[in-house]
Chain A
Amino acid sequence: MGLRELQGYASFFMTIFLVVMLYGYIVYLYRSEKKGEKDYEKLGKIALDDELDSTPVNTSDPLPSDEKEQNR
């Protein structure tokens, strides 16, 4: 097997790997929201409520603080 052929196979399997990762990410997004662990949609408000003195929509974890308490 020459180098060129090897590169071809490497590219193919890398593609498959990344496709699996991407679909895994989709499942993760929807599942974590369904379970109530995360709320991604509220992050959309960051663009609307963007005054310097307005309350930040979130911390690094997109989970509302009241839900955080409930999940504990």
Chain B
Amino acid sequence: MQSNAALEYDYSVAKLFTYTTILFGFLGMTIGTLIASQMAFPELNYLLGEYGTFSRLRPLHTNIVIYGFTLSGIWATFYYSAQRVLKVSMAESKFLMFMGKFHFWLYFFGALAAVVSLLLGITQSKEYAQLEWPFDIVIVLIWVSWGIGMFGLIGIRREKALYISMWYYIACFLGIAMLYLFNNMAVPTYFTSGGLGSIMHSVSMYSGTNDALVQWWFGHNAVAFGFTVPIVAMIYYFLPKESGQAVYSYKLSLLSFWGLMFIYLWAGSHHLLWSTVPDWMQTMGSIFSVVLILPSWGSAINMLLTMKGEWNQLTENPLIKFMVLASTFYMLSTLEGPIQAIKSVNAIAHFTDWIPGHVHDGVLGWVVFMIMAALYHMAPRMFKREIYSKKMMEAQFWLQTTAVVLYFTSMWIAGITQGMMWRAVDEYGNLMYSFIDTVEVLHPYYAIRALAGVLYLTGFLMFAFNMIKTMTSSRQLTEEPQFRSPMA
């Protein structure tokens, strides 16, 4: 294939996924803020009858932010950056263009139907895998169409070496494909009950401890291959590109990649510490979680060192700020997770608010910050306009950083208080507190978390506004910026 000067990268699919990232981000975070407020003020459970209760909305929140916002962000950045690092345009293949659009529209309507099904309470009751079997089949089709698009692009590439980001995207594709298939093996109850059950409602093919193990092998690796691997793919492309600095050590990036692949898959059993799974398996989960610090920090430190000698950019360019903070929060949450996976710490942390606290410093500080930074970087190149407002970006950064800090500090205190109160016994060995005692003590921390939600959501609305203005009314650019994104 010869290089063609008139040919350009085609961002039409990346743009479509950018729109859904903003849409699902807004939806998911709004519901998140509502349910956080419900924890502090339970009357808010009765706003919309059965559709507004915490139990109905919580899976909706997790599914929309994971499979709506994050997946859209992953695909927006993939369809943008994969073309660039492979030096091939989607416009060069009608088939790949068709697959990309097919991928998007199947995903978009599938995701909307999935949102409705969860709102109606249709669920197979497995955490992060609530969607019933017809949706599972649609998800497999969506995933396969992404795979065809990805390997199709790789097949016609000009750049023969696969950049490290591509390795991470491939790992995301393969990892989730394997995990999703195994965890969603289910049979409709109609077939297991001699015709009495329902065709729509299914139960897992595993039972008891085996079900728990498969579930958390999936659940934890949904974090690995959904919240870590593709986000690392993004930072390995967008931070060097925005700063104009090549990645500090390419060898370290390769090493961290294989280390992460090797270790992450076996850490999931730390979700089942002190449960009925075999003891050696719990210990293995603990050990692998602690060792996981190494490859995680390998990537994060590599990113920080990429900024070596260029730290002035941190004060001059808010996009760099977003990405450096994302990398820092990645380090924080990948240190915190292993600490929680130590058996003695887990004895206090398990089932407490420290766990959602940990999850949210990872997702709010790392995943969302990185996705927003990536979309900000892409916008001037995709829409050929400068970013609408630098000032708004700065304000958004500080507002959301404050929100993340409020979220995780309040949940640290709440979680440890809760864990200690549950375990406290008097001199006769009787429990000192009933459950409601803990709820009363935790109320202020729940209120702080709700406030954090409001702040973070406000920041996200600023992001959405800034992006929409960039797309529609910002100053037009005559040529594509090479490194630093132009902003007004």
Q: With contacts A50-B84, A52-B8, A52-B89 known, is A30 near B161, CB below 8 A?
A: no
Interface hits, A15-72 → B, CB 8 Å: 15, 18, 22, 25-26, 29-30, 33, 40-48, 50-54, 56-62
Whether the Cβ atoms of A43 and B241 lie closer than 8 Å is: no
Q: With contacts A11-B284, A22-B262, A52-B7 known, is A29 near B159, CB below 8 A?
A: no
Measured between beta carbons, the chain A residues less than 8 angstroms from B188 are none
Give the nearest-CB partner of B306 in chain A. A44
Whether the Cβ atoms of B246 and A45 lie closer than 8 Å is: yes
Contact with A along B264-288 (1 / 0, CB 8 A): 0010000000000010110010000
Measured between beta carbons, the chain B residues less than 8 angstroms from A18 are 262
Q: Does B240 contact A (CB under 8 A)?
A: yes
Whether the Cβ atoms of A56 and B7 lie closer than 8 Å is: no
Q: Does B390 contact A (CB under 8 A)?
A: no
Measured between beta carbons, the chain A residues less than 8 angstroms from B246 are 41, 44-45, 47-48
Measured between beta carbons, the chain B residues less than 8 angstroms from A57 are 159, 161
From A22, A29, A46, give the contact of B259 (CB < 8 A). Answer: A22
Q: With contacts A46-B161, A46-B163, A62-B161 known, is A52 near B255, CB below 8 A?
A: no
Whether the Cβ atoms of B89 and A22 lie closer than 8 Å is: no
Measured between beta carbons, the chain B residues less than 8 angstroms from A59 are 160-161
Number of interface residues of A (CB under 8 A): 32
Measured between beta carbons, the chain B residues less than 8 angstroms from A46 are 85, 159, 161, 163
Min distance, Cβ A32 to any Cβ of chain B, angstroms:
10
Measured between beta carbons, the chain A residues less than 8 angstroms from B88 are 52
C-alpha spacing A35/B163, complex, angstroms: 23
Q: With contacts A47-B236, A48-B240 known, is A29 near B87, CB below 8 A?
A: no
Whether the Cβ atoms of A26 and B255 lie closer than 8 Å is: yes
C-alpha spacing A40/B249, complex, angstroms: 9
C-alpha spacing A4/B9, complex, angstroms: 54
Whether the Cβ atoms of B159 and A41 lie closer than 8 Å is: no
Min distance, Cβ B210 to any Cβ of chain A, angstroms:
12
C-alpha spacing A56/B163, complex, angstroms: 11
Min distance, Cβ B23 to any Cβ of chain A, angstroms:
28
Min distance, Cβ B204 to any Cβ of chain A, angstroms:
21
Q: Does B436 contact A (CB under 8 A)?
A: no
Whether the Cβ atoms of A25 and B7 lie closer than 8 Å is: no
Measured between beta carbons, the chain A residues less than 8 angstroms from B284 are 11
Min distance, Cβ A20 to any Cβ of chain B, angstroms:
11
Whether the Cβ atoms of A40 and B254 lie closer than 8 Å is: yes
Whether the Cβ atoms of B251 and A33 lie closer than 8 Å is: yes
Q: Does B196 contact A (CB under 8 A)?
A: no
From B240, B254, B280, give the contact of A8 (CB < 8 A). Answer: B280
Min distance, Cβ A65 to any Cβ of chain B, angstroms:
12
Q: Does B328 contact A (CB under 8 A)?
A: no
C-alpha spacing A51/B88, complex, angstroms: 9
Whether the Cβ atoms of A4 and B278 lie closer than 8 Å is: yes
Whether the Cβ atoms of A47 and B255 lie closer than 8 Å is: no
Min distance, Cβ B305 to any Cβ of chain A, angstroms:
12
Measured between beta carbons, the chain B residues less than 8 angstroms from A51 are 87
Whether the Cβ atoms of A56 and B160 lie closer than 8 Å is: yes
Whether the Cβ atoms of B85 and A47 lie closer than 8 Å is: yes
Measured between beta carbons, the chain A residues less than 8 angstroms from B240 are 44, 47-48
Q: With contacts A29-B255, A50-B84, A56-B87 known, is A41 near B158, CB below 8 A?
A: no
Give the nearest-CB partner of A8 in chain B. B280
C-alpha spacing A33/B254, complex, angstroms: 14
Contact with A along B1-13 (1 / 0, CB 8 A): 0011101110000
Measured between beta carbons, the chain A residues less than 8 angstroms from B280 are 8, 11
Contact with A along B332-359 (1 / 0, CB 8 A): 0000000000000000000000000000
Q: Which of B4, B247, B259 has the most CB of A within 10 A?
A: B247
A: residues with CB less than 8 A from B are 4, 8, 11, 15, 18, 22, 25-26, 29-30, 33, 40-48, 50-54, 56-62
B: residues with CB less than 8 A from A are 3-5, 7-9, 84-85, 87-89, 158-161, 163-165, 236-237, 240-241, 244, 246-247, 249-251, 254-255, 258-259, 262, 266, 278, 280-281, 284, 483
With A33-B251, A47-B237 given, can you name 8 additional A-B contacts, CB distance below 8 Å?
A: A8-B278, A41-B246, A43-B250, A44-B246, A46-B85, A48-B244, A59-B160, A60-B160
Can you list 23 A-B pairs with a CB-CB distance of less than 8 A?
A11-B284, A22-B259, A25-B255, A40-B251, A41-B250, A41-B251, A43-B161, A43-B164, A43-B250, A44-B240, A46-B159, A47-B237, A47-B240, A48-B244, A51-B87, A52-B4, A52-B8, A52-B88, A53-B4, A56-B159, A59-B160, A59-B161, A60-B161
The 8 closest A-B pairs by CB, nearest first: A44-B246, A50-B84, A59-B160, A58-B161, A46-B163, A44-B247, A60-B160, A56-B159
